[in-house]
Structure 1
Amino acid sequence: MKPLEVRQIRTILSGKLIHGSDETVVHHGAYRIKQIKKKHTIFFAKIDPFSIERLKDFLPLVLVTDRKLDKTMQIDGLTVIKVTDLDKAYWQFVHYYRSLFQLPVIAVTGTSGKTTTKEMIKHILSFDKKIAATISTGNSRTAHLQYLLSIDDDTEAAVFETAVGAPGDVLNASEYFKPSIGIITNIGAHHLNFCKTPEDYIKAKGEMAAALDRNGVLILNAEDENSKKIDLKNFKGQIIKVGKSSSSHYKAKDIKYKNDGMEFILVYQQKEYPIFVPGFGEHQVYNALAAIAAVHQIGIDPTEAALRLKTYRKFKKQLQVLEGLKGSTIIDDTWSITTTSLEAALQVLDEIGKGKKKIAILGTITDLGPWGYVIHKQAGEIVNNHNVDILITIGMHAKIIAEHAVECGFKSKVYSFNNSILVYNLLRKIVDKNTIILIKGDMYSQTIIDLAAKIRKIQSTKNGPSTMVKNIANNDTSQNS
């Protein structure tokens, strides 16, 4: 954070100093007590004597409040700024701090791929710029202030992941970050417990268009059907599309599965650029296209972006290929599960599982509210459209996937269990070195996480790619656009 003195902050907030010193310097910010980790924090809160006791380990500290302060709460090291309206004062501080910096800010949202796309952008830019960015999947609305304050005078660009848990989340994030470039990777069906309907979820993701001003750039997936439903009639900025279709500004062709990643040709303004992106799946190509388009907007040529992208390393448990039980191959995709990411994972299983017995182990799709039954049925339809030899589901709701896949005409073997112990016992009987297993679930599902750990054999990266990965490269599996 750029250090600020209390006298400067007090002027911004039109506040009154009622205790402490105008010369106190602020280095951090918080609006919840649990967010306070260090001294010299500015804390926006309605406070009471009990809470004051909890602050004593972090003095000196600056408190902004609209409550009357009891004399017993006036302690050494605590500076208090009294304001008329606490919420108004908080947003005055946020808007002022953001106004201090003129820099490109990229905001990424989407049902799946947003963390990967954000990490790709961060990786490409970090070669020669100081970047502020969300950490891993840390996209909670409660973290926005900390991420904003991670920008300082040395920051040259920022990239933030903006999740949708409810309508208004993207607009709320934009109040902090003021993005100049927005990306919507894709829109599936998720968080329907708060968005209520798929249409409302599309609108919530589409808030990215409203988050950008008339000079902003909106990057969209040209082939994503739900992204096409976003209302853009009032958007005055530039729209950039990425994908395989002729309408794409950044177009991918000659897509091929290669050694632990994807190769393709990027076509941009009639020029062609060979690209390799680590990580299997056509969805990874879309993530790379969005990342390249974004960094190109802030001066990174596609040739240079492609060179840097080669050294990108995806997170573990994102379609991670490992040696598994009894010499089998495991595709560990226990990062998250939505119908969008399920489709992507099954496409990878189809491609790299050719000639092998293919098993899909699926857990429950969460955050669906009353739409749980419908979305799990949709997942069953997706499974039925892929070449799975054995389907195994874990959990009561995941069983709907299996049941509906059968209703749709799924002819392969189906097993549904409520716990992973029975699944493991079954796998010990049916897997061999010619088996490939996709295990997919939510990172918060301990049952799925434990099973994945049990059936995989962690490999050292110094030993190089697995035999399975080498075979994929040798097979030169291609997808023509």
Structure 2
Amino acid sequence: MKPHPVSFIRTIISGELVQGSDEVTVHYGAYRLKQIKRENTILFTDKRIIDWRSLKKFFPLVLATEWKYNKDEIPENVTVIQVTNADEAYWKFVRYYRSKFQIPVVAITGTSGKTTTKEMIKHILSADRIVTATSLTSNSRTANLQYLLNIDEETDAAVFETAVGAPGDVLNAGEYFKPTIGIITNIGAHHLNYCKTLEGYIEAKGEMVKIINPTGVLIINRDDSNTSKIDLESFRGKIIKIGTHSTCHFRARNIQYAQDGMQFSIKHKKRNYQMYVPGFGVHQVYNALAAIAAVYEMGVTIPEAAHHLKTFRKFNKQLQVVDGINDSVIIDDTWSITTTSLEAALKVLNEVGKDKKKIAIIGTITDLGSWGYTIHEQAGELIYQIGVDVLITIGEHASIMADHAVKRGLTSPVYTFRNEVLVLNLLNKIVDANTIVLIKGDMYSQPIIELASKLRKKK
């Protein structure tokens, strides 16, 4: 955060100094007690602080509050700014701070690919610029203030994920970041426990349209059917389409699997550029297209972007190909699971394992609420259509996938387990050097994570 004296902050939030000094400098911000990690933090709160002892190590502390404390209640090293409404004061400070920096700010949402796309943009820009960004997948609304305050006078660009757990999440992020460039990677079916319906989820993702600067840029996946349902009539900025369709501004062609990644060409303004991106799958090409379109808007040429993209390091547990038990090959994709990412993973399994026995181990898809049965059936439909040689599901809801795939006509051996305990014994019997195993789950499913670890060949 760019440091500010208390006197200046008081002016911004229309506050009155009731204790302490106007000369104290603020270096950090918080609106919850647990967000205070360092000295010289300003805390915006409408709650009365009782236990000052736990905060003593963070003194000097600045408090912007609507509570009227007695002077003998407050320790000496605490500066108190009295405000009429702590929430209003907080947002005045947030809007002021964001307005001080005229830099490109990218906001990314989507069912899958947003973290990878964000990291690609950061990787390309970091070659010659100072970039701040959300950390890995930490993209909850409670982290937004900290990410905003990471911007300072040395920052050249910022890249933030704006995840959707519920309607309004993207709008909330927009209040902090005021993006100049917005990206929607794709829209599948997720977080239906709060969004209630697929239409509600699409609408929640579509909030991106409302938060971009009116003269800004929106980058969308032309090939994604759900993204096409977003109402773009109100958007007055520039729309950039990426994909494989002939109408795309950044069009991928001649997509091929290569050594540890994907080769393709980009057609842009009647010129073709050869590309390579680490990581298997056509979905990785879409991630790269979105990243390249974004950095191009920030002045990076396509050849420059292509050069830097070659050295991009994909994450562990995102379709990570490793040596496995009994000399098999393991594809560890235990980062997250949605129907969108499951489809991508199954296609990678079939492509990479063309000449091998293909086994898919699939866990439960979470955050679906009352849509759990329907979405797991849709996952079963994907498994039937794409096909595997052996299907193993882990978890009560995951068995719905297996039941539906069999009902639709999947003739491959199918095993359903309530937990992972017996799966390793089965795999030791059916896995050999001619086998490739996809294990698909999410980072919050500890049994799936532990099984994936056990499947790796021990060094």
TM-score (norm 1): 0.94
Matches within 5 A, 1:128-143: 128-143=128-143
C-alpha distance in 2, partners of 1:427/1:54? Answer: 51
Query: Residue 457 of structure 1 aligns to a residue in which SS?
Result: coil
C-alpha distance in 2, partners of 1:30/1:261? Answer: 41
C-alpha distance in 1, partners of 2:334/2:75? Answer: 49
Give 2:259's aligned residue: 259
| 1:387 shift after superposition | 2.7
Give 1:169's aligned residue: 169
Is the CA contact 2:252–2:267 (under 8 Å) kept in the aligned structure 1? Answer: yes
Give 1:289's aligned residue: 289
| 1:73 shift after superposition | 2.3
Q: Deviations over 1:176-231 (max 9, x none)?
A: 00000000000000001111110000000000011113211000001000000001
C-alpha distance in 1, partners of 2:342/2:173? Answer: 27
Give 2:3's aligned residue: 3
| 1:87 shift after superposition | 0.7
Is the CA contact 2:327–2:457 (under 8 Å) kept in the aligned structure 1? Answer: no
Is the CA contact 1:52–1:73 (under 8 Å) kept in the aligned structure 2? Answer: no
Give 2:360's aligned residue: 360
Give 1:66's aligned residue: 66
C-alpha distance in 1, partners of 2:457/2:388? Answer: 23
Q: Deviations over 1:357-413 (max 9, x none)?
A: 000000000000110111000000000011300000000000101011111111111
Q: Deviations over 1:297-326 (max 9, x none)?
A: 000000000000000001100000000010
Query: Residue 225 of structure 1 aligns to a residue in which SS?
Result: coil
Is the CA contact 1:163–1:169 (under 8 Å) kept in the aligned structure 2? Answer: yes
Query: Residue 437 of structure 2 aligns to a residue in which SS?
Result: strand
Give 1:476's aligned residue: none
C-alpha distance in 2, partners of 1:300/1:214? Answer: 22
Is the CA contact 2:63–2:81 (under 8 Å) kept in the aligned structure 1? Answer: yes
Q: Deviations over 1:136-178 (max 9, x none)?
A: 0010100000000000000000000110000011110010000
C-alpha distance in 2, partners of 1:209/1:188? Answer: 18
Give 2:333's aligned residue: 333
| 1:49 shift after superposition | 4.4
Give 1:111's aligned residue: 111
C-alpha distance in 1, partners of 2:374/2:249? Answer: 35
Is the CA contact 1:180–1:216 (under 8 Å) kept in the aligned structure 2? Answer: yes
| 1:72 shift after superposition | 3.0
Matches within 5 A, 1:85-124: 85-124=85-124
Query: Residue 202 of structure 1 aligns to a residue in which SS?
Result: helix
C-alpha distance in 1, partners of 2:99/2:2? Answer: 12
C-alpha distance in 2, partners of 1:143/1:458? Answer: 37
Q: Deviations over 1:61-119 (max 9, x none)?
A: 10000111133322111000010011100000000000110000000100000000000
Matches within 5 A, 1:276-355: 276-355=276-355
Query: Residue 213 of structure 2 aligns to a residue in which SS?
Result: coil
Is the CA contact 2:43–2:62 (under 8 Å) kept in the aligned structure 1? Answer: yes
Q: Deviations over 1:28-54 (max 9, x none)?
A: 111111111100001011343424332
Instruction: List structure 1 segments (4+ residues) > 6 angstroms apart after TM superposition.
Output: none
Partner amino acid, structure 1, of 2:244: K
| 1:445 shift after superposition | 0.2
C-alpha distance in 2, partners of 1:217/1:100? Answer: 20
C-alpha distance in 2, partners of 1:55/1:5? Answer: 21
Query: Residue 56 of structure 2 aligns to a residue in which SS?
Result: helix
C-alpha distance in 1, partners of 2:374/2:402? Answer: 13
Query: Residue 235 of structure 2 aligns to a residue in which SS?
Result: coil
Is the CA contact 1:213–1:236 (under 8 Å) kept in the aligned structure 2? Answer: no
Partner amino acid, structure 2, of 1:397: H
Distance 1:46 1:53, change over 3 A: farther
Give 1:469's aligned residue: none
Give 1:475's aligned residue: none
Query: Residue 232 of structure 1 aligns to a residue in which SS?
Result: coil
Is the CA contact 2:373–2:400 (under 8 Å) kept in the aligned structure 1? Answer: yes
C-alpha distance in 2, partners of 1:283/1:382? Answer: 16
Partner amino acid, structure 1, of 2:22: D
| 1:55 shift after superposition | 1.6
C-alpha distance in 2, partners of 1:150/1:132? Answer: 7
Give 1:44's aligned residue: 44
Partner amino acid, structure 2, of 1:182: G
Q: Deviations over 1:231-271 (max 9, x none)?
A: 11111111101011101110000111000000000100011
C-alpha distance in 1, partners of 2:62/2:409? Answer: 65
Give 2:201's aligned residue: 201
Identity within the alignment, %: 64
| 1:458 shift after superposition | 6.3
C-alpha distance in 1, partners of 2:272/2:458? Answer: 38
Is the CA contact 2:132–2:157 (under 8 Å) kept in the aligned structure 1? Answer: yes
C-alpha distance in 1, partners of 2:49/2:30? Answer: 18
Give 2:416's aligned residue: 416
Query: Residue 257 of structure 1 aligns to a residue in which SS?
Result: strand
Is the CA contact 1:122–1:131 (under 8 Å) kept in the aligned structure 2? Answer: yes
Partner amino acid, structure 2, of 1:376: H
C-alpha distance in 1, partners of 2:71/2:373? Answer: 57
Distance 1:364 1:337, change over 3 A: same
Partner amino acid, structure 1, of 2:168: G
| 1:129 shift after superposition | 0.3
Is the CA contact 1:104–1:179 (under 8 Å) kept in the aligned structure 2? Answer: yes
Aligned CA RMSD, in angstroms, stands at 0.9
Q: Deviations over 1:257-295 (max 9, x none)?
A: 000000000100011110000000000000000000000
Is the CA contact 1:49–1:73 (under 8 Å) kept in the aligned structure 2? Answer: no
Is the CA contact 2:45–2:87 (under 8 Å) kept in the aligned structure 1? Answer: no
Choose 403-412 or 224-233, whichever is displaced more.
403-412
Give 2:178's aligned residue: 178
Choose 414-423 or 299-308, whichever is displaced more.
414-423
Is the CA contact 2:5–2:24 (under 8 Å) kept in the aligned structure 1? Answer: yes
Is the CA contact 2:31–2:43 (under 8 Å) kept in the aligned structure 1? Answer: yes
Give 2:32's aligned residue: 32
Query: Residue 219 of structure 1 aligns to a residue in which SS?
Result: strand
Q: How many residues align?
A: 459
